Amino acid sequence: MNVANLQLEGLLMAVASLNALLVREGVLSAEDLDLALRKVEASMTADERLYEDMSPSNRDAVCFPLRLLLAANAARAEPHMPSFSELARRVGQKKQPYNDQM
């Protein structure tokens, strides 16, 4: 595996942990965090560059970090933060096709 991928994996899990702390401490509500992440994803997927210049797999790659953080936020009621591979699996299971893939 590429070292950069491992670094991004660590960074995403660190951000997920910080997000969980912000919610736990009452700085943000889980709903506000979810809404913020969804707004960023919507903004990114509305970008014409994603549709005109990127393949569907590259679009998914661009959105993956946000989707993983959304999955981590959704798992907040679980006793322990799921692993990166578990969160990635959940992202894959929820993936919907893009309009141009139907």
The domains of the chain are located at: 3-95
Structure-token pair, residue 54: 């990127």
pLDDT per residue as tens digits for the range 44-62:
888 777 677 888 788 888 8
pTM of the model: 0.85
pLDDT band, very low/low/confident/very high, at 100 (cuts 50, 70, 90):
low
Residue 98 has pLDDT above 80, yes or no: no
Cα separation, 39 vs 29, in Å, equals 15
* pLDDT for position 95: 78
pLDDT per residue as tens digits for the range 76-97:
889 999 999 999 999 999 877 6
The number of angstroms, rounded, from the C-alpha of 19 to the middle of its chain's C-alpha atoms is: 12
